[in-house]
Chains A and B, each alone.
Chain A
């Protein structure tokens, strides 16, 4: 009511400042335990999520994923913070060359060498949402032979992306490399971490090497690193980790984003020894890949070891099934 009568933006801001100071005093008097001004400021910066009728959620007791009216994931809501969150699928097209020198190298089994600096986008849509006492699922379907389920299990502190990709279409005579991007508003300053070959988690910085001054001829491939189990980024508050179920190439090309390669089909050899293109010719149409990734959010700097989560993903229970035709429930 105070603000609505103000004409200029200066008056607005003056009034807001007065209100802020007033609120601060009231809070101080009531003994509210804010440690300092910085904490107050952070609180006021916190994005406020207003639930609207055209939006919906999939959730468990630990977090929520907010979906807009088209079913696209827009936010991840944790008990104490809200993050922008999007899952996007793209593909890179592979370079074709005569392999006489590095700049003429084809993208192949050994070499990832996209011909553009921006991936091609894919259109996809949410086709269904399922909610129940054990799992909540969101089904995504793309136009270029891609499908995925986003799952939130009861009690689990992650969400899972189960993807089915392929066969990759090559009727346009172009090799393609499909990727997924998890886009958030984390400020990681170009730094990300990968567990190279499962040996040791190493800090990576975009367009840099710790040992020498680097000029990258290939800005995309030059920032790709092996991910055996996990890749993560973090800012001062939050750490976002992606666990993979197999070795994949990964990077963080833009702020707050993690990119992982899902599937490749290429039409040219890269002349490093395999002697044939990475083109699945045996069944005539190419292969379909199914896999899953788990996305974890933790407090930055929290002494939380993801090793257990990683091992739990790789060493899942060994499940065997037996027909119990001759066995009654009581006997069992």
Chain B
């Protein structure tokens, strides 16, 4: 109750006409900032306790320590330093909202899971570089992870965000592809002379590498006009339908 009273008191002070319009002296403005920030920070303790009570009523799981982050300056010590974290939000409105949520993070690949456990669409977007002469924020975050949260009236939802191991899967996939290509070419070397003649050839190989997944097969063939071509065969049945 006493932290809530602190916030009530701060909001009372902010009703002063100088606070509303910004006609206070500069040092008073900074004092208002101090009072408000301190009150909001202390009052987030209540939200922290409430979220834990609602989401973990039996206390069968570890209690989470929720922190309020300075999203307005793209900074969040928790999400910037954690490999996995929980983002819990409360919709104070009496109707459904779909709200874009932006959480500051460091570069990497992330998976965002909705309350039902499904991975949802998210996007990692770079935070713009500091503009010359504009003092910038103090934060490790270089990117923001953005996703849409669909929230019920006065509803609470909790999202689980996990940083994936750095592009390991991608690297393995590409490596597999080239190993496979090498083996394949090696086998065919005596029969077919393959030369990557131009950038265009190279590009098409790179496109193939992007589509390739471990375990895929290749098929090579001569097209009707006598040119050599090749394809990734995702599905073995496709082999039967290719016009050799």
Contact = CB atoms under 8 A, between A and B. Distances in A.
B73 A130 contact: no
| Main SS at interface, chain A | loop
A317 B133 contact: no
Interface string B100-113: 11010000000001
Given A134-B147, A153-B148, A320 B47 contact: yes
Given A320-B51, A322-B65, A324-B84, A110 B23 contact: yes
B27 A282 contact: yes
Contacts of A130: 125-126
Contacts, number: 162
B120 to A, nearest CB: 10
Nearest to B160: A332
A133 B112 CA distance: 14
B172 interface: no
A327 B113 contact: no
Interface residues of A, number: 56
Nearest to A137: B125
B86 interface: yes
Interface stretch (B75-83, B182-190, B224-232): B75-83
Interface string A17-41: 0000000000000000000000000
Interface in B16-60: 18, 20-27, 30, 44, 47-48, 51
B128 interface: yes
A322 B78 contact: yes
B134 interface: yes
Nearest to B120: A134
A171 B99 CA distance: 41
Contacts of A329: 84, 113, 117, 160, 162
Interface of A: 109-110, 127-128, 130, 132-135, 137, 139, 141, 145-147, 149, 153-156, 164, 166-167, 169, 247, 272-276, 279-282, 285, 288, 290, 308, 311-312, 315-327, 329, 331-332
7 contacts: A135-B125, A274-B24, A282-B30, A320-B51, A321-B76, A325-B82, A327-B84
Given A141-B131, A276-B25, A323-B82, 10 more contacts: A109-B23, A155-B148, A166-B134, A281-B26, A312-B93, A315-B93, A320-B44, A320-B51, A322-B85, A325-B84
